[in-house]
Amino acid sequence: MRPEYWPTSACDHPGEHRRPGAGLPDDGHLRGEDDLQRFSIYRDVPGISKIGLQNKYTGSMMAHDRYPERELIDQYPHPVSSAPHVNPPTSPFRAGRSAPDRALRGAPRTLGRMVEHRMIDVNGVRLHIAEEGEGPLVVLLHGFPESWHSWRHQFGPLAAAGFRVVAPDQRGYGRSDHPADVAAYSILHLVGDVVGLIRALGEEKAYVVGHDWGAPVAWHTALLRPDMVLGVAGLSVPPPSRGPEPPLVAMEREFGGRFYWNYFDRPGVADAEFAKDPRLTLRKFFYGASGDTAGEVTQPLVDPDRGWLAAMEDPEEMPGWFTEGDLDALTESFSRGFTGALNWYRNLDRNWELTAPWQDAVITSPALYLYGDRDLVPAFPGAPEFIASLPDRMPGLHREPIVLPGCGHWTQQERPDEVNAALIDFLTARS
């Protein structure tokens, strides 16, 4: 018989923490596949699990009690049941399924597609990762100011296409470590995290896909470690081209210090501005850089006396592709502030110095590049001409750059269907 609900009473035990309105239907019950797809099981360190549900849209845990994993499986061998109540420590379900995967193996097909979460040690830092599926590994790298959640529309389709999909909160973001040293966010550290992640997941090679800042990390992983990259895809940010001078120096001269990179480079300044109201900051960011705004795409310049947010519109309503739940999840991921994320920008000139040995080097891995025609990044000085030259510069380019009409900066969130189709075409062509 098809399960009708997963009663919240399964989480009703002492010490629980439930965030009011965390994505449940009005009566507090999950019904059928539509509701189940909104939640994921959270696995913490090996041997320990957090009992309950995590809303995939808000990122919030409905219950935070911790039990040994064996006890979890014994109590909840079948997470979804037509039984009216499941109250620990007793359970009407039979015990004895000791392997963690068994909890999902007997569950409805929907649960087999659920995103799971855990922490993993790589390259001297501890990263939070989200994962789903089996098959060749695909690593999805988010940008600024984002988290693993920015790939929420890609997990299901890519997993269904036969891939193991993993998206970390990169260093300085979300539940992952936030090193204090600014120099710990160089491109070599970030590529090292990807290399370490691939190894820690038990793989030798992977497809690497990145958006915004995640794209330079993906591109440089392919450039520096082509032996480990089955294919590379970048969204929004084109492949790297090392210019004749450091990028912060170049933008300082070009725009008199008003380019947003230079604003972000000032220690503590943008950090404090954005941390005053993280939710407002993120709402303005995501609306302002989307394809839903009116007017032409302009260079992101900042009045250093007013800050960046002062000139940004605060929309009455967000675009349909970015829900209040999405904003909840993103806001929660920046509860530790923006400094770690901003430190990536503070390494732009250092990255230019560190990558000198790869001057004019060519990415030879199979590659794919997508961007929106209302994205501000491909409109940066010199970018349109460089993008037009990519078919001649990159021998492994799968096809000419894909341009998404009306799409702004948040490529895979604004146009998930088109992005998923392009990624699956690219990945399956080489698997």
Chain position carrying tokens 């064996």: 70
Catalytic entry in 178, 189, 398, 409: 409
Cβ proximity of 129 and 147 under 8 Å: no
212 is known as an active-site residue: yes
Considering the candidates 169, 177, 193, 212, report the single residue annotated as catalytic.
212
Alpha-carbon span 82 to 70, nearest angstrom: 23
Closest CA to 380 of 303, 298, 264: 298
Question: Within 13 Å, how many C-alpha atoms sit on residue 296's CB side?
Answer: 3
Residue pair 236/411 in contact (Cβ under 8 Å)? The answer is: yes
Give the pair of three-digit tokens for residue 65: 């009690």
Asked if 168 and 176 count as a contact pair (C-beta separation under 8 A), the reply is yes
Q: Confirm whether 169 is a catalytic residue.
A: no
Active site residues: 212, 409
